[in-house]
């Protein structure tokens, strides 16, 4: 299968043997992290990725190479997650650490690492505080923050994925980053409502 993402997507569109399986393997972890950023629940995030992959396969012929395949896929996932948020009843959020014993849940967010125990604990604590802070953001700010800082998408890619102006993305990201910073500086106390 092609190593280039655009070439892979062309193979998916053409329904070439093994292309979609390669697509799934290439993007499923990143899409899980994004889903978890929205839903904050392991099973719901897994379901969202699975259902999004079905939607992507069905919509593969509608893809146009004006945006990166992951940007296109993340928009489909984001729409699905926002629909789920609107439909579901409130449910307590889970931390990735509590979801699965061992490294698996942490690996989905941070990648495989073999840190010393004290370094791992320090890192896990920091990541937990970031997760708590991100969870307090309004949905629109959380989406931008997750896409930028967890998925390393460019501001232009985020604007395309969200279908909004670049200035709106910059403003949302600035507010989100400030809110996360304030939340962590205050030691995780609940912060007030932040504008979208």
- The pLDDT tens digits for 120-158 are 777 777 777 887 888 888 878 888 888 888 777 788 878
Residues 129 and 173 in one domain: yes
Per the structure, the count of domains in the chain is 2
Contact 56, 76 (CB under 8 A): yes
Residues 180 and 191 in one domain: yes
Confidence of residue 117 (pLDDT cuts 50, 70, 90): low
> Residue 101 is part of a domain; what is its CATH number?
1.10.1740.10
Contact 179, 133 (CB under 8 A): yes
Any idea which residue has 């053409």 for tokens? 14
The pLDDT of residue 127 is: 74
pLDDT over 70 at 110, yes or no: no
Supply the pTM of this predicted model.
Answer: 0.58
Q: Which domain holds residue 44?
A: 1-113
Residues 4 and 20 in one domain: yes
The pLDDT of residue 141 is: 87
Structure tokens at 137: 């953001």
């Amino acid at each position: 299968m092609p190593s280039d993402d655009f070439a892979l997507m062309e193979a998916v569109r053409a329904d070439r043997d093994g292309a979609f399986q390669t697509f799934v393997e290439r993007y499923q972890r990143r899409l899980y992290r994004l889903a978890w950023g929205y839903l904050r629940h392991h099973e719901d995030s897994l379901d969202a990725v699975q259902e999004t992959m079905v939607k992507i396969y069905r919509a593969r012929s509608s893809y146009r190479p004006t945006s990166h395949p992951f940007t296109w896929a993340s928009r489909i996932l984001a729409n699905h997650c926002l629909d789920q948020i609107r439909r579901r009843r409130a449910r307590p959020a889970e931390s990735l650490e509590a979801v699965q014993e061992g490294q698996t849940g942490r690996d989905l967010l941070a990648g495989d690492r073999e840190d010393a125990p004290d370094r791992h604990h320090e890192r896990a604590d920091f990541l937990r505080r970031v997760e708590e802070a991100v969870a307090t953001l309004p949905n629109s700010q959380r989406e931008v923050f997750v896409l930028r800082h967890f998925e390393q998408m460019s501001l232009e890619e985020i604007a395309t994925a969200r279908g909004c102006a670049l200035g709106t993305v910059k403003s949302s990201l600035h507010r989100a980053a400030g809110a996360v910073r304030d939340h962590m500086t205050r030691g995780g106390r609940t912060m007030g409502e932040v504008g979208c």
